[in-house]
Amino acid sequence: MAKIIGIGKYVPEKVLTNFDLEKIVDTSDEWITTRTGIKERRIAPKNTGASVLAYEASKIALKRSGLKASDIDLIVVATITGDTPFPSTACFLQNHLKAANAACFDVSAACAGFVYGLAAGWQFIKGGLYKNVLVVGSEVLSSITDWKDRSTCVLFGDGAGAVILTASKKDSILSAYLGSDGSESEILMVPAGGSRLPASEETVKNRLHFMKMKGNELFRIAVRVMVQAAGKAIKGAGLEFSDVDLFVPHQANERIISAVSERIGIPREKIYINISRYGNMSSASSAVALCEAYEEKKIKKDDIVVLDVFGGGLVWGSMVIKWA
């Protein structure tokens, strides 16, 4: 069984506001705010690897856990903007941390990556293979954002969140539910740079190394599957929606969060929302939101916290945590 003993976050210093974006593409603060709830996002310095953001968040999580880097025996990094196509960003992070005793791998589950990574870490501990697991969601989405495409560039930001899980007598993760639908993979993707369409002059010219998204289609699916995932995870924990103390959804669009919470009947004061300050940070979004909720003392011991996420793949998931 496993419990969370440390949590940390890091966002780059540079703030890019909606007003700044008005100078880059044909958009307005009014459009972005009413359609998404985003006011600003953080942008990492050019050529920063996701492992660098992950390192900053992990140092804080480690300090809070009371463990040393050498105590970590598994590092899982959820990212779609890894430092390089390979090796894994988890390996780069291991080197920054000098966590020499850790096995390392990455999880590719877009905005659902942090919950997928947590579920993996939890199961590795439950299975008895590892004792102390570092799970990180880290993204430099600015590196795959097309700054000429107003339909996507207003949505995303950079950041990282980290959690340390350790073996314990009682499980603080009560349940997890993960789902996917590969038939919808073309709705949100970076088309080039993989084996299907390796980098070439043509792919660069056609801007195929940037995110492409069919926003309205995603919106509808996101609401449906997030409602379903939260329901399954809460039922899996033997609880009701009324037992939830804090709902921490993926921060892609405030209207998605409102639609999901209305359908499941969770009141606004029980939902953690920070999208206005960061935009969508993919796998880092729910990790950073969880960390901020903790830092703002919105989570107390024994509270029931529900993560609910959705992203490109398509993938989704929900996890119920009894805060230890």
Task: Please confirm, yes or no, whether 280 is among the known catalytic residues.
Answer: yes
Render the burial of 221-258: b for 16+ CB within 10 Å, e for the rest.
bbbebbbbbbbbbbeebebebeebebbbbbbbbbebbb
Q: Which DSSP state fits 271?
A: B
Query: What gap in Å lies between CA 85 and CA 155, rounded to an integer?
Result: 24
Binding mask 118-157 for ligand ACO (x = CB under 6 A): --------------------------------xx--x---
Render the burial of 30-62: b for 16+ CB within 10 Å, e for the rest.
eebeeebbbbbbbbbeeebbbbbbbbbbbbbbb
Whichever of 99 and 256 has its CB closer to ligand ACO, that residue is 256
Whichever of 73 and 149 has its CB closer to ligand ACO, that residue is 149
Binding status of residue 111 toward ligand ACO by CB under 6 A: yes
Identify which of 71, 109, 97, 74 has the alpha carbon closest to the alpha carbon of residue 287.
109
Task: Please confirm, yes or no, whether 101 is among the known catalytic residues.
Answer: no
Binding mask 254-273 for ligand ACO (x = CB under 6 A): --x-----------------
Query: What gap in Å lies between CA 140 and CA 159, rounded to an integer?
Result: 7
Whichever of 216 and 242 has its CB closer to ligand ACO, that residue is 216
Whichever of 6 and 12 has its CB closer to ligand ACO, that residue is 12
Task: Please confirm, yes or no, whether 91 is among the known catalytic residues.
Answer: no
Binding status of residue 188 toward ligand ACO by CB under 6 A: yes
Q: How far is the CB of 80 from ligand ACO (least distance, A)?
A: 6
| List of residues contacting ligand ACO (CB under 6 A) | 27, 31-32, 35-36, 110-111, 150-151, 154, 188, 215-216, 218-219, 222, 252-253, 256, 280, 282, 311-312
Q: Which amino acids are annotated catalytic?
A: 111, 250, 280
